A = this chain, B = another copy of it.
Amino acid sequence: MSEYVAPLRDMQFVLRELAQVETLSSLPGFEDATPDLAEAILEEAAKFATNVLSPLNISGDREGVRWDDGEVYTAKGWKEAYRQFIDGGWNGLSGDPTYGGQGLPRLISALVEEMWNGANTSFALCPMLTAGFIESVALCGTDLQKQTWLPKLVSGEWTGTMVLTESQAGSDLSAVRTRAVPQADGSYRLHGQKIYITYGEHDMTDNIVHLVLARTPDAPEGVKGISLFIVPKFLLNADGSPGPRNDVRCMSTEHKLGIHASPTCVLAFGDNAGATGWLVGEENRGLEYMFITMNAARYSVGIEGIGLSERAYQRALRYARDRIQGTEAGSGKRERVSILRHPDVRRMLMEMKAYTEAMRALACVVGAAIDVSHAHADAGVRAAKQKFVDLMIPVVKGWSTETAIHVASIGVQVHGGMGFIEETGAAQHLRDARITAIYEGTTCIQALDLIGRKVARDGGTTIREMIMAIHDVEVRIRNRNDEQLTAIANELSRSTASLEIAVDFIVANYGSDIRKTAAGAVPFLELVGIVAGGWQMARAADVALTHLASGDGDKTFYQGKLLTARFYADHILPRSEALAHCVVHGADAALAMHDDAF
């Protein structure tokens, strides 16, 4: 069984040549984050991913989790791996040094997170949710709350959850009904049932701390009546150690298509006296707080998609190298060859590779922008970067996850019949990837966020700035007078023109006809993803040509980079025009359809 191997060479390329990691160390607080340190961390993380997490991926999938009378037992080896994970300091990589974190740039931790997800998505979900808890409490909690919870969560000694969904409140969180009744001592008692709680119960740590959306008794209806609470599994003793059991209980775990080793829990709060919780920030502002940190979680789910795509690609490539079948078409030779020699297998692998590299490059550029938006000394620079980050979060989330499903499905196909056999492992990647386009906001939710808050609200200003940046790259690579780069520039130009048409349409119509723009929101999101990915691939091709022209570096790598960008331009960028057509012309039939005619 081959294990995950982190794509260090490509990660180094993206870090240094596309995301300019060296500029981050000039930001206040990131002085130590030099390129060399970044690479040293990636190398260590790569070992952990290959040696500790990857070997548990298939076994965890097969074994799943076991629920027994409210307790949840993770798969064999899970506890030990988690212990090694926190002992290695991996949990707090980008955490605030005030609470014991290492304060490294998001750019670096994003690549590390890609490794965790590539090696073992079910495992990686646990620290991801903990990070969501940490960010919320760090931004909105009281000093006492921070001191009480954050050190243990940053270290990973305890884990955190995000407890939002109820059976009647999925995409529409305004329908949350869980009640929180204030008590004389300033705490609240919570009553209600929550579903889809990732790592809502498990046996890896001696406490679990939930961040729960609920309504106080006099709260207004809808989104403006929801508050956020900290509700630990075990209440704390005076010395901060876990004390009595709180009134929260895991009623069951779900039987899912994928991520079998990640417990997805139904949690009952307050079946007895009520679960004790503490308000975070002000009453009725819970959704607002949650959305601040949801952005971080959505970015992380985008990274999941990239990790899964890389893993699916690696497995398919390994199989394509090893599997001998058929002769080489057109060669006249009778000797059998590895299927990597077959044109269609090459096309499939190139599509997997091109998408994965484009998604990684885009996510890293956004990751570096997150760092600048947090740490830059100049408030104007911070604000400008924040607008770019806000624009791209739904794209990194929505595009990278939908694409991951597509890439993982191609990975199955490369294996032929073996792809359908579970022992091969290719099918698991498809099963695991399928959730990423659903949780932390479905692709539709991302797309509505994109067209509404991120594009229409500022009249298209931010996205048009991005389009200008893409034009600049297009002009730069065209001026190099290289055949490959000119071909890439041509497709980038056409697809950017399609994007502009779609942006104009969204900006012109969102205010007057939201249903018409909403029907094209998902095609629009895919369009933005494809063009933004093409932008990064064009930059990569530009860098690669420079290395090839000067003769420095690994020629095979840079030629491969150039050809992968060319493939992206020939196979993926041309999809833009049809997507723009869907955005502009595609709504009428779907909206005009009589409900009974479906």
Contacts and interface: CB of A to CB of B under 8 A. Distances in A.
A566 interface: yes
Interface residues of A, number: 100
Given A326-B171, A349-B598, A434-B427, A589 B574 contact: no
A107 interface: no
A330 interface: yes
A164 to B, nearest CB: 11
B596 A556 contact: yes
Contacts of A448: 344
Contacts of A578: 574-575, 577-578
The 5 residue pairs across chains A and B that have the minimum distance between CB atoms? A560-B597, A574-B578, A343-B519, A567-B589, A343-B518
A412 to B, nearest CB: 6
A541 to B, nearest CB: 11
B593 A560 contact: yes
Interface stretch (A251-259, A374-382, A468-476): A251-259
B412 A434 contact: yes
Contact of A256 (B343, B421, B443, B592): B421
Most B-side CB within 10 Å, residue of A257, A342, A519, A588: A257
Nearest to A513: B330
Interface of A is mostly: helix
B170 A325 contact: yes
Interface of A: 165, 168, 170-172, 175, 195-196, 222, 254-258, 317, 320-321, 324-326, 329-330, 334, 336, 340-347, 349-350, 353, 405, 409, 412-413, 416-417, 419-423, 427, 430-431, 434-435, 437-439, 442-444, 447-448, 487, 513-516, 518-523, 556-557, 559-560, 563-564, 566-567, 570-571, 574-575, 577-578, 581-582, 585-598
Given A416-B438, A427-B257, A597 B421 contact: no
A587 B168 CA distance: 49
Nearest to A581: B574
A552 to B, nearest CB: 17
B347 A522 contact: yes
B519 A347 contact: yes
Most B-side CB within 10 Å, residue of A254, A487, A571, A587: A571
A574 B570 contact: no
A317 B175 CA distance: 23
Contact of A255 (B170, B423, B598): B423
A447 B516 CA distance: 37
A171 B414 CA distance: 12
A336 B171 CA distance: 12
B515 A329 contact: yes
Most B-side CB within 10 Å, residue of A321, A334, A420: A420
Given A330-B515, A343-B516, A346-B593, 12 more contacts: A172-B325, A254-B421, A341-B595, A342-B518, A344-B521, A350-B590, A420-B438, A556-B594, A559-B594, A570-B586, A574-B581, A575-B578
Contact of A413 (B222, B443, B563, B566): B443
A538 to B, nearest CB: 14
Contacts of A423: 255
A578 to B, nearest CB: 4
A85 B519 CA distance: 44
B420 A435 contact: yes
A255 to B, nearest CB: 5
27 contacts: A172-B326, A222-B334, A257-B431, A330-B514, A340-B598, A341-B595, A342-B444, A343-B519, A343-B521, A346-B519, A346-B591, A347-B519, A347-B586, A347-B590, A353-B598, A409-B409, A413-B442, A417-B439, A419-B438, A420-B434, A560-B594, A560-B598, A563-B589, A563-B597, A566-B589, A570-B586, A575-B578
